[in-house]
A and B are shown apart, each in its own frame.
Chain A
């Protein structure tokens, strides 16, 4: 089954404790992206990757890191989480934005930073 898988789905952590949210897709997609969703603000892009070893900042990259060492994986790293990073996070992927643009989303990771 074609899917985008995120882990963990739910996480409660404390300020400053490094964490990684994993994202994996099995569709051989070139494009991958991370978004955060907050009430009243919709979806905001954190980072995106056009292909392996190519990443770029989105609209709200501060406090986050990403890497794209393999085509299927695109982990989101919070080196020192803070309470303002409490949010719902989505990973998404696409065949190639230039073709259809349709994004496939994971089910989301709800993060709470105390």
Chain B
């Protein structure tokens, strides 16, 4: 069975500081991994995805994530936070060769202070 754990329901950073949102997955076979972002009063949109190509994946708005098989992690980072990055972030996993139904983490709310 596949699962996703997002560490920290809330992460608070100052504007200009490093953003690090953690995601660990559980899967017995190679996964597809995704980060989605939800801005206030909107639906989710794809930020970036890993589908077994390069382990370092670049997404929109300066975000990137690195797939680390040994650590079963797919943490999301951004070098310098901007006020507009304040949103809810969801990590999701799909197991290749399985049902292809995505499993979502519980989400991490990113708070950016001026």
Residues of chain A having any CB pair with chain B under 8 Å: 4, 35, 40-43, 45, 48, 58, 90, 92, 97-98, 100-103, 105-108
Contacts and interface: CB of A to CB of B under 8 A. Distances in A.
B106 A42 contact: yes
Interface in B5-27: 9
A107 B43 contact: yes
B44 A101 contact: no
B67 interface: no
Interface residues of B, number: 21
A17 B107 CA distance: 32
B46 A103 contact: yes
A102 B49 contact: yes
Interface of B: 9, 32, 34, 36, 41-46, 49, 51, 90, 94, 100-102, 104-107
Given A42-B106, A97-B101, A101-B100, A108 B46 contact: no
Given A40-B106, A100-B51, A105 B101 contact: no
Interface SS majority for chain A: loop
Contacts of B49: 100-102
B94 A97 contact: yes
A100 B100 CA distance: 10
B111 to A, nearest CB: 15
Given A42-B107, A43-B90, A102-B49, A97 B43 contact: no
A101 B106 contact: no
Contact of A98 (B41, B100, B105): B100
B8 to A, nearest CB: 13
Contacts of B106: 40-42
A42 B101 contact: no
Contacts of B101: 45, 48, 58, 97
